[in-house]
Structure 1
Amino acid sequence: MNQSDLLEHIVTIARQAGQAAMVIYDKDFNIEYKGDDSPVTDADLAAHAVIVKGLKALTPDLPILSEESANISWDERQTWQQYWLVDPIDGTKEFIKKNGEFTVNIALIDHGKPILAAVDAPALGITYCAATELGAFKDDGQSRIQLSVTKKANSGLIRVVGSRSHPSPDLAQYLTQFDEVEMVPTGSSLKLCLVAEGKADIYPRLGLTSEWDTGAGHAVAEIAGASVTQVDGSPLRYNTKAEYLNPYFIVSALQP
């Protein structure tokens, strides 16, 4: 299947999962907590079910790693060359607050690199999508516009996107390198997408994330032309180690 057809299928699956989540979003819902005290709702599980069913029908031979089914051994995972990386609901805390800033994330990882993805924000009516052979796009259901980052000089006012739910104590120190900063608080993987569409200049993530939190947004940002690197400048890669935690990373539309 070519990337164009595959991307359309993934956008459809992400939107179907988003609509399943919205059914629960619009009413009272059950909240439980995992062992690490992170919340999980009925919507996480509903979206997970929709995505897994859709992906298994679309690409039955590709493995799926989802936040809601992450108990897969490193012995097995290290043999994967391509797989789907899924976060059924990224920004569960935003979902619980009902501020709309949650996303459904599906990314195709190839040899550690995200090459195709969809990020659906169902409460906002927006879907971001990207593929290496096609480009990165923002789709509001009526039109689809291509996203292309224009690199900005590392001076003057710098718009910094940050988390509503996870403020990092290291961030203030990092930002001292800039003349003037304007914070753009945003939840979920929308942070990476805002850099992709030019609404923010940099997203320094100096706090913990898991690979499923970032894979899809990473694809959108990088394919749009932003850089996505570890703090030391090396590439951010996936499925290279036993644990799922990412190192600290920087998503930037600034000139180096």
Structure 2
Amino acid sequence: MADMQQVFLDAALEAGRAIMSIYENGIDVSYKEDQSPVTAADEQAEAIILAHLARAFPDIPVIAEESVAAGVVPDITGKAFFLVDPLDGTKEFINRREDFTVNIALVENGVPVAGIVYAPAKGVAYRTIAGGAEKLIVTDGVVARSETIRCRPRGEVLTAVASRSHNSPETEDFMRKIGVSDFTSVGSSLKFCLLAEGVADVYPRFGRTMEWDTAAGDAVLRAAGGTTECADSTAFAYGKTRQDTDSDFANPPFIGWAHLPSRS
């Protein structure tokens, strides 16, 4: 998997440079059919990532957010596939907050087995590696140093991370129910990464997400010793098509855990 991880890193860093150029020089916003915002940064970053993946892995299909919005959806039946969100946290990006990310993941048999989450404005990336996960410090677009990360054991104080832009009453109720003592509001897939590096315990998400929003961060969390499950405690899987209750690749409510959840 080392070669794939290098491709992921190279693609994410180049996409991050394109995103930051637009971030620093002016952001024009348009809206897709579902009224979600999109910018030139989303489109340029996706084109860069797709080019890297096509060169290195031409036989692996890619499900990418902007391509899907344009009607480009390859067949993934029975196949490993990539999930790409070129700019997760577009609202954070538009509002000039720093917690937006580039997300690239590989899914096999419904499980995200490799991934990278890169936050170019923060100069930090998280990725899966052989046998675990690591955090990268990125300076001027170049990796300056790395450190292995691991989820922390459950302690007496339970810390939650939740969406800055998409919190909900269900989230608040869940946190009360499990006895959350501390709460941090963060945008994008960085929430998974905070669990993976051992600074938080649980990430509840009851609002709607898509698979490309979650796969890379979920891969990092699982590699660091955590788990993600549906809110009803069933397995949280990828490659969901022909769903009765939602569109292709839409996620149900889920909970990310840095350790095994307590069962009542």
TM range (shorter): over 0.9
Q: Deviations over 1:49-69 (max 9, x none)?
A: 100111100101111110011
Decide whether the 8 Å contact of 1:108 with 1:117 is kept in 2.
yes
Determine the structure 1 residue equivalent to 2:144.
142
Q: Provide the alpha-carbon RMSD of the alignment.
A: 1.4
In structure 2, distance between residues paired with 1:14 and 1:42: 16
Q: Deviations over 1:112-141 (max 9, x none)?
A: 11111111100011111104x431110002
What TM-score does the superposition give when structure 1 sets the normalisation length?
Answer: 0.93
How far the C-alpha of 1:77 sits from its partner, in A, is 2.8
In structure 1, distance between residues paired with 2:35 and 2:87: 16
Stretches of structure 2 lacking an aligned partner (at least 5 in a row): 138-142, 243-247
Determine the structure 2 residue equivalent to 1:235.
235
Report the secondary structure of 1:26's partner residue. helix
Decide whether the 8 Å contact of 1:4 with 1:134 is kept in 2.
no
Decide whether the 8 Å contact of 2:201 with 2:259 is kept in 1.
yes
How far the C-alpha of 1:231 sits from its partner, in A, is 1.3
Determine the structure 2 residue equivalent to 1:50.
48
Determine the structure 2 residue equivalent to 1:251.
256
The alignment status of 1:103 with 2:101, answered yes or no, reads: yes
In structure 1, distance between residues paired with 2:134 and 2:121: 18
Report the secondary structure of 2:217's partner residue. helix
In structure 2, distance between residues paired with 1:42 and 1:78: 27
Report the secondary structure of 2:66's partner residue. coil
Q: 1:114 aligns with which of 96, 112, 115?
A: 112
How far the C-alpha of 1:179 sits from its partner, in A, is 3.7
What TM-score does the superposition give when structure 2 sets the normalisation length?
Answer: 0.90
Determine the structure 2 residue equivalent to 1:84.
82
Decide whether the 8 Å contact of 2:160 with 2:180 is kept in 1.
no
Determine the structure 2 residue equivalent to 1:31.
29
In structure 2, distance between residues paired with 1:48 and 1:12: 13
Report the secondary structure of 1:117's partner residue. strand
Determine the structure 2 residue equivalent to 1:152.
154
How far the C-alpha of 1:181 sits from its partner, in A, is 2.0
Stretches of structure 1 lacking an aligned partner (at least 5 in a row): none
Determine the structure 2 residue equivalent to 1:174.
174
The alignment status of 1:216 with 2:216, answered yes or no, reads: yes
In structure 1, distance between residues paired with 2:232 and 2:75: 26
How far the C-alpha of 1:78 sits from its partner, in A, is 4.5
Decide whether the 8 Å contact of 2:83 with 2:104 is kept in 1.
yes
Letter in structure 1 aligned against 2:207: G
State the identity %. 40
Determine the structure 1 residue equivalent to 2:127.
129
Letter in structure 1 aligned against 2:102: V
Equivalent pairs counted in the alignment come to 249
Determine the structure 2 residue equivalent to 1:206.
206
Determine the structure 2 residue equivalent to 1:11.
9
In structure 1, distance between residues paired with 2:46 and 2:13: 12
Report the secondary structure of 1:182's partner residue. strand
In structure 1, distance between residues paired with 2:14 and 2:179: 44
